[in-house]
Amino acid sequence: MSATGETWRLASVEREIGEPDSVVRERTLMRLGLGDDPDLDVRIVRRSIDARGQRPPRFVHAVDCHIPPHLLASADTSKAERVGRSAERQQWHLPADAARPVVIGAGPCGIFAALVLAEAGLRPILVDRGKPVETRAKDISRLMGYGIINPESNLCFGEGGAGTWSDGKLYTRKGGDLPRRVLETFVAFGADPDILVDGRPHLGTDKLVSLLKSLRAGLIARGGEIRFEARVHRLAQHDGRVTGVILHDGERIDATHVVLALGHSARDLYLQLANDGLAMVPKAFAVGFRVEHTQALVNRIQYGQWAETPGLPAAYYELTANVGQGADARGVYSFCMCPGGSIVPTGAREGEVCVNGMSHSARSGHYANSALVVTVSPEELGRHLTRAPEHPVLVGMQFQRECEERAAEAGGGGFTAPAQRLGDYLADRPSSEVRRSTYRRGVVPADLGQLYPDFVRDALRLAMRPFSARMPGYTSDEALLIGVETRTSAPVTISRDPQRLASPSLAGLYPAGEGAGFAGGIVSAGVDGIRVAEALLRSLAEPTA
């Protein structure tokens, strides 16, 4: 938009399903008391669906209108909000002999950290234990089709991180300019520009492969280096400072600064870091199951009599409840809801069954799925372990592992997953049979109540009453629970200074992203990667602009 004049934002500009986009401009100018003038730049900045009430679902927009100086006096901005200019990108003056930093992990956090460092001229080295996304896809196909897992290349490890085969959601509650910067970067590298305006932006797993290849090429063009199949075994250190990384084959990469964006499933590296004394603490997370309904049912619940209206997207839902009293109080919520999606295996080795959800960009599948999870605290988990954790700080990791092992045993092997009708789960009776699921490794009937401690089972059952009240039909006989979902977030927080974003126990190390406990999704991980990279740059030199 022009540098002269002012930009004003209007909220709640409505458009009925089937109406052309042009009505948004017309209604925006009408609310501002302006006639249509070619000098008025009107742009949709947010679009969402409102299906509330007894009227048909409609699109609701937030709209920016740039008003040139000669029209400002006639504009009615009483119900609009003035929009300031975006923050300028910082420019960095760095020492000519600055060493190349290492970034561990090619998930969204690591990719964005490496891009920022590369744009500043530091030529980072990005290392990942997994494979490039196109080769990784072949390993995932073998897992899905034949139950053959590569422990270094699967739905958790490889280019793009765990989010690559987990739907590509770009929704975040983080504010400020950085989430927009993440989305704009995706668009610059080939993503659909609609993600800049959708209220719940979504890439889709099918679109992420080409996007990641484009991001890889962009990083290399800016002087970065990417090394795949390079699993970090431990951090090299001397006198309380990181001096590089040591790979699984013994190779050492020297570095004075390391970004640790390891992801939430790097259990071997968690253990090594804990044994080496890196500052970290256990953290709360959430566990539960995937629940699967037909998308048609979710559409009917959310859209009512208008469920089959052409032009409506596959319906989405979000549920939360607080159950229990006093010390037994805890939250239960839906998580990572996938309209028109499928359920996928996210274990990283034999003998573990863990599930997640994904959708393609069109979200045109016949089923919808979501996690249904219960918050758990590290203080309570130790009482429910059958084996001691390998390190005291990793009590949550041990709890995850034991739940996944029980699920694998209940599934019978080959990454088959245990399943139960939701109605049977609520009635505390095993399912004698279960329908087919989108989970390609197959499901078998099981008593899912046996896979978690009683407090998890009871909390989920209590939450179904308010969930069903909000979404009548949610607990119908067609609803299927599939277990287990344990990796909603990291089981630890790797400590860092809140201002410098560096480890307090190892100088030069910057814990980052979801695996370090500071993010929860693609956008928030990308945001944290930017923040950490800029903190690293500040440690080398002050910005010049």
Do 498 and 415 sit in the same domain of this protein? no
Chosen domain end from 34, 53, 83: 83
pLDDT of residue 54: 83
Helix extents (H) in 279-376: 295-303
Do 302 and 437 sit in the same domain of this protein? yes
User: pLDDT by residue (tens digit) across 444-482?
Assistant: 999 999 999 999 999 999 999 999 999 999 998 889 999
Q: Which residues contact 163 (CB under 8 A, 6 or more apart)?
A: 107, 108, 208, 521, 522, 525
276 lies in a domain? yes
pLDDT value at 167 more than 70: no
pLDDT of residue 190: 94
Least confident of 64-68, 147-151, 199-203, 486-490: 199-203
Do 52 and 195 sit in the same domain of this protein? no
Rounded CA-CA distance 371/167 in Å is 13
Rounded CA-CA distance 443/424 in Å is 16
pLDDT value at 86 more than 80: no
pLDDT of residue 545: 46
18 lies in a domain? yes
344: preceding bond cis by omega (within 30 degrees): no
User: pLDDT by residue (tens digit) across 109-153?
Assistant: 999 999 999 999 999 999 999 999 999 999 999 999 999 999 999
Region 3-22: mean pLDDT is: 91
Do 447 and 424 sit in the same domain of this protein? yes
Residue 268: its H or E element:
helix 267-275
pLDDT of residue 414: 96
49 lies in a domain? yes
Residue 418: its H or E element:
strand 417-421
Kindly report the CATH number assigned to the domain that includes residue 139: 3.50.50.60
pLDDT of residue 3: 59
Kindly report the CATH number assigned to the domain that includes residue 20: 3.30.70
Residue 97: band (very low, low, confident or very high) from pLDDT cuts 50, 70, 90: confident
Do 78 and 182 sit in the same domain of this protein? no
pLDDT value at 1 more than 60: no
For helices 205-221 and 133-146, angle between their N-to-C axes, nearest 10 degrees: 150
User: pLDDT by residue (tens digit) across 387-405?
Assistant: 999 999 999 999 999 999 9
89 lies in a domain? no
Full-model pTM:
0.93
Do 300 and 393 sit in the same domain of this protein? yes
Q: Is 123 left (phi over 0), alpha (psi -120 to 50) or beta?
A: left
87 touches 95 (CB < 8 A): no
152 lies in a domain? yes
pLDDT of residue 2: 52
Region 528-542: mean pLDDT is: 93
1 lies in a domain? no
Do 290 and 383 sit in the same domain of this protein? yes
Q: Which domain holds residue 435?
A: 285-485
For helices 178-188 and 108-119, angle between their N-to-C axes, nearest 10 degrees: 80
Which of 376 and 175 is assigned the larger pLDDT? 376
91 lies in a domain? no
95 lies in a domain? no
Do 107 and 243 sit in the same domain of this protein? yes
> What is the chain's mean pLDDT, rounded?
93
pLDDT value at 242 more than 90: yes
Do 291 and 421 sit in the same domain of this protein? yes
Do 423 and 346 sit in the same domain of this protein? yes
Do 36 and 168 sit in the same domain of this protein? no
User: Reading across the β-sheet that carries 509-511, which strands appear in turn?
Assistant: 225-227, 125-127, 102-104, 258-260, 509-511
Rounded CA-CA distance 342/365 in Å is 8
Least confident of 153-157, 193-197, 243-247: 193-197
In the chain, the number of structural domains is 3
Region 318-339: mean pLDDT is: 92
Chosen domain end from 35, 54, 83: 83
pLDDT of residue 249: 96
pLDDT value at 208 more than 90: no
Region 75-102: mean pLDDT is: 86
162 touches 107 (CB < 8 A): yes
Do 268 and 296 sit in the same domain of this protein? no
